[in-house]
Amino acid sequence: MSRLSGNVVVTGASGGLGHAIARAVAPRSADLVLTARRTEVLEPLAADLGARVVGCDLSLGEDVERLISEAGRVDVLIANAALPASGLLLELTPPEIDRMLEINLRAPIALARAFAPGMVERRRGHLVFISSLSGKAASPASSVYSATKFGLRGFALGLREDLRPHGVGVSVIMPGFIREAGMFADSRASLPPGVGTRSPEEVARAVISAIERNRAEVAVAPFPMRLGATIGGAAPGLASAVSRLLGSERIAAQIAAGQRDKR
């Protein structure tokens, strides 16, 4: 039987990636809970999918606790919510950094800690964490973002080993540049010729595949980007030199400028 069934929670459901993920999992879920800060965006989607809405700012501990309480039994958690967290460290204020860390890293850990015991008791369930290829290889103007995504990937892979004996799956999804919706698309940054993108629907299909096949991690990007991220993880100095030649600093600056109002 598929692991994607029962009660499903999708965080960050008001964004483009969240919309695509919610639409993909809705037909497979008995009770779908969508959560984000912008409930006015969630309500029409929830009505269309027959889902419940829980308004929640994941940077606030009390909101996280309320989500845990109102969600009830959870069989599948898809932790998708995140802030761009791009920009030079010296340009970020301490409150901005705190908010980035809370939403991108602490909140997914807190939700996993709350929902995993029930999954362990039932010996079924799945936790999905939307990280990024920035969780394997860092790029300019993204030190805090990379810190959260490296951390989320490490947490997911470690938790996977802890929960494996209990029949609970854990997966991490690592998108590259996603067109049409999401952080990169919202920034309106331009990529060099030959640098490919993927769609929100491809991310959603990767989520379903990860759950149903219990995959440890799935990268959603063209092969050259996946290869570059792997090399970046193994030889960061060499990879950084090559990426600079390809214009990584210009692209990173464009992305940071386009995302500044979303910190």
58 with 107: CB under 8 angstroms?
yes
d(C-alpha 25, C-alpha 13), whole Å: 12
Instruction: Give SS3 for 64.
Output: helix
Spatial strand order in the sheet of 169-175: 52-55, 31-36, 7-11, 76-79, 126-130, 169-175, 217-220
CB-neighbour burial class of residue 71 (10 A; exposed 0-12, middle 13-18, buried 19+): buried
Q: For residue 50, what is the DSSP state?
A: T
Residue 158, H or E segment:
helix 143-163
Closest of 248, 199, 195 to residue 224, by C-alpha: 195
157 with 217: CB under 8 angstroms?
yes
Angle between helices 223-234 and 236-245 (to 10 degrees): 140
Place of tokens 């290889």: 137
Catalytic residue among 145, 150, 155, 177: 145
Is 65 part of the annotated catalytic residue set? no
**Active centre residues (catalytic):** 145
